[in-house]
Structure 1
Amino acid sequence: MLAIINAQIMTITQGTIEQGTILIKDGKIHAIETGAPELPEGTEILDAKGKVVTPGLIEVHGHLGICEEGIGWEGEDVNEMTDPSTPYVRAVDAINPFDMGFEDARKGGVTSAHSMPGSANVIGGETVVIKTAGTIIEEMILNPLAGVKVAFGENPKRVYGEKKQLPSTRMGTAAVLRRELTKAQAYMDKIILGEQDPDKKPDRDLGLDALVKVLKREVPLRAHAHRADDIVTAIRIAEEFNVEITIEHCTEGHKIVDFLKKKNVKVAVGPTLSSRSKVELQDLGFSTVDILNKEGLQVSILTDHPVIPIQYLPICAALATREGLSEEDALRAITINPAKHLGVDHQVGSLEIGKDADIVIWSGHPFDFRTNVEFTIIDGKIVYKK
Structure 2
Amino acid sequence: MHIRNRFGLAGLLAFLTAAAPLAAAQAPPEHVALTGARVIPISGPPIDGATILITRGKIAAIGEDVEVPFDARVFDVSDKVVMPGLVLAHTSRGTDRANETRPVTPQLDVYDSIDPSQLFFEDTLRGGVTAVHVMPGNNTVIGGLGRVVRPIGLDLDEMTIAEGAFLKIAVGPRRGYDPMTQRAELRAAFLKHADALAKLAERRYEEQREEDEKPLDVLPDEARKRGVKLIRAEDLDDENRNLLRLTGGFVKVGDEAGDPILPPLGAFVYCERAMDVGFAVQFAKDHGFFDRLVLVLGGECYKAIDELKAAARPVVLPPDLLYRESDPITGEVSETFVAKVFADAGLHFALVPGPDTSLPERLLTYQAARCVRNGVPRDVALRAITAWPAEMLGLGDRLGTLEVGKAAHLTV
TM range (shorter): 0.7 to 0.9
Contact (CA 8 Å) 2:322, 2:337: kept in 1 or not?
Answer: no
Instruction: Report the residue type matching 2:409 in the other structure.
Output: D
Distance 1:266 1:198, change over 3 A: farther
**Alignment equivalent of 2:270, drawn from 219, 224, 229:** 224
TM-score (norm 1): 0.80
Local SS of the residue matching 1:345: coil
Contact (CA 8 Å) 1:87, 1:123: kept in 2 or not?
Answer: yes
Residue 222 of structure 2: aligned partner = none
Residue 364 of structure 1: aligned partner = none
Bigger relative CO (Cα 8 Å, ≥ 6 apart): 1
**Alignment equivalent of 1:319, drawn from 366, 370, 375:** 370
Following TM superposition, by how much is the alpha carbon of 1:222 offset from its aligned partner in structure 2, in angstroms?
A: 0.9
**Alignment equivalent of 2:92, drawn from 52, 63, 80:** 63
**Alignment equivalent of 1:180, drawn from 175, 178, 189:** 189
**Alignment equivalent of 1:264, drawn from 296, 312, 326:** 312
What's the C-alpha RMSD, in Å, of the aligned pairs?
2.6
Separation (CA, whole Å) in 2 of partners of 1:310 and 1:197:
59
Residue 301 of structure 2: aligned partner = 253
Separation (CA, whole Å) in 1 of partners of 2:354 and 2:103:
21
Mapping for residues 289-328 of structure 1, pairs under 5 Å: 289-303=339-353, 312-328=363-379
1:207 aligns with 2:239: yes
Instruction: Report the residue type matching 2:302 in the other structure.
Output: H
Q: List runs of 5+ in structure 1 lacking aligned partners.
A: 67-75, 162-167, 277-282, 362-386
In the alignment of these two chains, the number of paired residues is 335
Residue 3 of structure 1: aligned partner = 33
Residue 279 of structure 1: aligned partner = none
Separation (CA, whole Å) in 1 of partners of 2:386 and 2:377:
14
Separation (CA, whole Å) in 1 of partners of 2:137 and 2:354:
10
- Deviation digits for residues 245-302 of structure 1 (CA, Å, limit 9, x no counterpart): 21113422321212111111110102116998xxxxxx99772112112222111111
Between Structure 1 and Structure 2, whose CA radius of gyration is higher?
Answer: 2
Instruction: Report the residue type matching 1:174 in the other structure.
Output: R
**Alignment equivalent of 1:39, drawn from 68, 89, 105:** 68
Separation (CA, whole Å) in 1 of partners of 2:322 and 2:115:
25
Higher deviation after alignment, 111-120 or 267-276: 267-276
Separation (CA, whole Å) in 2 of partners of 1:284 and 1:130:
39
Higher deviation after alignment, 349-358 or 134-143: 134-143
Higher deviation after alignment, 227-236 or 342-351: 227-236
Mapping for residues 151-166 of structure 1, pairs under 5 Å: 151-154=170-173, 156=174, 159=175, 161=176
Following TM superposition, by how much is the alpha carbon of 1:57 offset from its aligned partner in structure 2, in angstroms?
A: 0.2
Q: List runs of 5+ in structure 2 lacking aligned partners.
A: 1-30, 209-226, 250-263, 325-332
TM-score (norm 2): 0.75
Contact (CA 8 Å) 2:361, 2:367: kept in 1 or not?
Answer: no
Separation (CA, whole Å) in 2 of partners of 1:173 and 1:191:
27
Separation (CA, whole Å) in 1 of partners of 2:69 and 2:186:
57
Residue 252 of structure 2: aligned partner = none
Higher deviation after alignment, 216-225 or 98-107: 216-225
Identity of matched residues, %: 31
- Deviation digits for residues 120-170 of structure 1 (CA, Å, limit 9, x no counterpart): 21111111111111112112212211311112324x1xx3x3xxxxxx321
Distance 1:344 1:10, change over 3 A: same
Separation (CA, whole Å) in 2 of partners of 1:310 and 1:139:
29
Contact (CA 8 Å) 1:110, 1:311: kept in 2 or not?
Answer: no
Instruction: Report the residue type matching 1:235 in the other structure.
Output: V
Distance 1:309 1:143, change over 3 A: farther
Mapping for residues 1-386 of structure 1, pairs under 5 Å: 1-35=31-65, 37-66=66-95, 76-81=96-101, 83-154=102-173, 156=174, 159=175, 161=176, 168-189=177-198, 198=207, 204-216=236-248, 218-244=264-290, 245-272=293-320, 287-303=337-353, 312-361=363-412
Local SS of the residue matching 1:23: strand
Instruction: Report the residue type matching 2:46 in the other structure.
Output: T
